[in-house]
Structure 1
Amino acid sequence: MHDAAAPRRTLVLGGARSGKSGQAESLIGAATGEPVRYVATSRLDPADADWAQRVHEHRVRRPATWFTVETASGAGLAEVLRDGSAPTLVDDLGTWLTAEMDAADAWELPRGTLDPRVDELVDAVTDYPGRLVLVSPEVGLGVIPETRSGRLFRDEIGALNARLARACDEVLLVVAGLAVTLK
């Protein structure tokens, strides 16, 4: 039975290599041995050995009791969240947003073009009946990107993070491997 005081939906934010994925894994219960649905949002490019290595590192540290759902295989993230109530970890929303922008060819389109997909995701998170941990990059603290596409991504992920922070019971910011509770 779920403890009413425990957070049901948690958003874990952090910069590159901050430890946000590891923090999220510990929150969802990596050490308990309980089954967890791990929703992987990245797409592998066979020509990108560095990214393939990062994905491999994430895979090998997951407990054997976890099962993986890859949104890159065609299932939309909101649809995956609407299908079930198992404890779920989504890693990460930056790669989800990138894939959505690619699919819509939205890199040169106006801000807000993906609002319907973002609305679907926020609704699915709000309605999720089980334990849910979301990982997302915090990219708005650094240098303003030089390119329009970089600024667009920064703005869109910032807006998404703000909406999800309102929808979640708990929000953590991971900096240098340390988690700070924001909500």
Structure 2
Amino acid sequence: MAILVTGGARSGKSSFAEQYAIRSSNHGVYIATCQSYDEEMADRIMKHQKDRKVTGFVWKTCEEPYEAAEMLDKVASETGDKRDEPPALLLDCLTLWLTNWMLRIECERLGEDRLEQEMSKLVAAIERYPHKLIIVTNEVGDGIVPEYSLGRAFRDEAGRLNQRVAAVCDRVFLVTAGIPVELKSLAFRWEQL
């Protein structure tokens, strides 16, 4: 079962996702996509790690800025034959993963279609993951239009990726001011017209 948790910055989405994992399994795997580019980001990463330890929930943390699809497949294969309860897998977050790939593609000149390939690979891995999977992402299209082209491209690609992932998830939560709302159950359906 795949669950997408979205919201704005500091909306409470990661806290909600962690609580969802804690309440749905007795242990978890945390795939962290954030890279520590500066001291402030290193401090944020350390705070997240400390906050997870305080809960007493057993997390195995995997820092993986690019190969999220491969990590999902690896965790699935490691837990596939075991009789124990599979871990809740938390992927935090899609938009940092997207940032990592967009910057890498630009710096390494990996080709125009590389991002589409990586996004398709990740969506396919999400679809085939057989256990509890919670994915955190950011809503970035609700704000102002970025003034530079890479920012606009990021906003557009994040919106597209969020739509693709939401389409394959069983549940989608929007978290605002710490309040989660499940969107798929509220969604308009064309047959209601």
- Fold similarity call, TM over 0.5: yes
TM class, shorter-chain normalised?
0.7 to 0.9
Change (3 A) 1:167 1:33: closer
Which letter does structure 1 place at the counterpart of 2:181? V
Runs of 4+ in 1 over 4 A off after TM superposition: 106-113
Give the alignment's Cα RMSD to 1 decimal. 2.2
Which letter does structure 2 place at the counterpart of 1:51? M
Q: Larger helix proportion, structure 1 or 2?
A: 2
Q: Which runs of 5+ in 1 are unaligned?
A: 1-7
Q: Does the CA-based 8 Å contact 1:111-1:152 persist in structure 2?
A: no
Q: Does the CA-based 8 Å contact 1:112-1:156 persist in structure 2?
A: no
Task: Report the counterpart of residue 153 of structure 1 in structure 2.
Answer: 154
* Counterparts of 2:4 and 2:48, CA distance in 1: 19
Q: TM-score, normalised by structure 1?
A: 0.86
Q: Which runs of 5+ in 2 are unaligned?
A: 77-86, 185-193
Say if 2:97 is the partner of 1:105.
no
% identical aligned pairs: 40
Q: Does the CA-based 8 Å contact 2:105-2:111 persist in structure 1?
A: no
Q: TM-score, normalised by structure 2?
A: 0.82
Which residue of 67, 71, 93 maps to 1:80? 71
Map of 1:87-102 to 2, 5 A cutoff? 87-102=88-103
Figure out how many residues of one structure are paired with residues of the other and give that number: 171
Say if 2:165 is the partner of 1:164.
yes
Task: Report the counterpart of residue 50 of structure 1 in structure 2.
Answer: 40
Change (3 A) 1:87 1:81: same
Which letter does structure 2 place at the counterpart of 1:120? K
Q: Secondary structure at the match of 1:84?
A: helix
Q: Does the CA-based 8 Å contact 1:11-1:135 persist in structure 2?
A: yes
Larger radius of gyration: 2
Which residue of 4, 18, 24 maps to 2:17? 24
